[in-house]
Amino acid sequence: MFFIYNLLLTLISPIFIYTLYRPKEGKPPFGPRWKEHFGFSSPLNSAAPPVWIHTVSVGEVIAATPLIKKIKDAHPELSILVTTTTSTGAEQAAKLGSLVEHRYMPLDFSFAVKRFIKIIQPQQLLIMETELWPNTLSAAAEAGIPITIVNARLSERSCSRYAKVQGVFNLLSKDITQILCQTKDDSLRFQKLGIESSRIKITGSIKFDISISKEDINKGFELRKQIGSTRPVWIAASTHPGEDEQLFNAHKSLLTTQPEALLILVPRHPERFTSMFKLSEESGFNTVCRSNNEPVEKVTQVYLGDTMGEMLSLIQAADICFMAGSLIGDKVGGHNVLEPAALAKPILTGPSYYNFTDITRELVNNKACTICADSGQITAQLQKLFSAPELRMQQGEAAVHVVNSNKGAIKKSIEFLPAFV
């Protein structure tokens, strides 16, 4: 099985490498550090064996940040290494400053992973969510490194796919020391695929342990003063191609009853910033870019969030949040609805949210989130909420209650980790 996997990996690797290194607008370059993807990493500043935390890109780094801070608070002398595959993830990891060191994750070639492990000498490996690569897992296990999957989730869709290639999943799972699952349903799906219950623990989602800094909140308040404290403001967060047109249609309809309404549109990927400004203007909207620091007048209809690392402040500045990645079938599966929930915002989302099924359902059941099938339903919900301030407050309070009642996953997760040395 390993032979077949490595043969396929070799065949498809040129496509993967091209995609990884292809220049895109807004994407930081790898520079001379591209060699790290092939295991040529420089030694860490600390000689102590580090805890190796793998996070693929921006979202996983953000999710891991509270865990990292909690571990570092309890063990200030502990060396922590964060690996990412992408350069945008590296940029996010850099914001952690002296808490961690960063290296790029070696591609899943056996020679690259083994060279990386020999240089870094990690004491244990924590993988965020379900980023599993056969040669990485095998090399780590061979080196005696305990492997823990943290905040693990497995959708019914992914479970069905793995079941069709059970041999591949067995290859992935055999070297995993333990899996810390978000929910009981995740646990049952892993067991359905043959993982022993003794290797599975249910800790809850660490995403509920979200912590919003005063700086982000204050920046949001300041932005709201700039864009208009009394006008209706909604945000479409982390949009993907195919969604923007639908959201613009919803906004255009909203303007017929709320002529002063403002849409904050935040594309998921920075390389789309320029094209989205063009699309917004071509759609007939008076548009202002966040990055230009232009004044926002009453005639401004779309405010383009074309900066990185400001999502929380942008959500704070809005009255209602539509969480994107959810209007384009099964391509994406939604994004993290807990950020607007923690900021006490009423939440709207499209019908495809399989990456956050349990969280979204809990918010829906608590009347904090509404599922909208299309642009017409989005407009209807926006009109309803903007005309009823007390309803917006109720939904926002319900969202915060869901977040607060589910906190504690980080503490549980740390309790199950192997002892730090």
Q: Please report, for the domain that includes residue 146, its CATH number.
A: 3.40.50.11720
5 assigned to some structural domain: no
Name the percent of the chain lying above pLDDT 90. 85
Q: Are strands 51-54 and 80-84 parallel, antiparallel or unpaired?
A: parallel
Tokens representing 277 are 């400004």
Give yes or no: residues 163 and 225 share one domain. no
Tell me what percent of the chain is helix, strand and coil, each rounded to the nearest 5.
50, 15, 35
Give yes or no: residues 198 and 234 share one domain. no
13 assigned to some structural domain: no
Give yes or no: residues 142 and 223 share one domain. no
| pLDDT tier at 155, thresholds 50, 70, 90 | confident
12 assigned to some structural domain: no
Q: In what order do the strands lie in the sheet with 101-104?
A: 101-104, 80-84, 51-54, 124-128, 147-152, 178-181, 200-202
- 53 three-state secondary structure: strand
Mean pLDDT, range 147-162, rounded to an integer? 92
Query: How many domains, in total, are found in the chain?
Result: 2
Give yes or no: residues 179 and 220 share one domain. no
Give yes or no: residues 331 and 254 share one domain. yes
Is 291:306 a contact under the CB 8 Å cutoff?
yes
Give yes or no: residues 138 and 270 share one domain. no
79 assigned to some structural domain: yes
CATH of the domain at 302: 3.40.50.2000
Structural domain span for residue 128? 25-205+408-416
421 assigned to some structural domain: no
Give yes or no: residues 352 and 321 share one domain. yes
Mean pLDDT, range 59-73, rounded to an integer? 91
pLDDT at 210: 87
CA dist 396 and 410 (Å) reads 24
Is residue 60 annotated as a catalytic residue, yes or no?
Answer: yes
Residue (of 277, 237, 234, 228) closest to 255 by Cα position: 234
Mean pLDDT, range 175-180, rounded to an integer? 96
Give yes or no: residues 255 and 395 share one domain. yes
pLDDT digits (tens, 9 = 90+) for 313-327: 999 999 999 999 999
6 assigned to some structural domain: no
Give yes or no: residues 166 and 242 share one domain. no
Return the exposure string of 57-66: e unless at least 16 CB atoms fall within 10 Å of the residue's CB, then b.
bbbbbbbbbb
pLDDT at 151: 94
366 assigned to some structural domain: yes
Give yes or no: residues 174 and 218 share one domain. no
Give yes or no: residues 104 and 228 share one domain. no
Phi-psi domain of 344 (left: phi exceeds 0; alpha: psi -120 through 50; beta: other) = left
pLDDT at 394: 98
CA dist 304 and 264 (Å) reads 6
φ, ψ of residue 234 in degrees (nearest 5): -130, 155
Catalytic residue from among 36, 60, 129, 243: 60
Is 145:168 a contact under the CB 8 Å cutoff?
no
Tokens representing 205 are 């989602």
Give yes or no: residues 155 and 187 share one domain. yes
Q: Above 90 in pLDDT, residue 421?
A: no
Q: Above 80 in pLDDT, residue 26?
A: no
Q: Above 80 in pLDDT, residue 25?
A: no
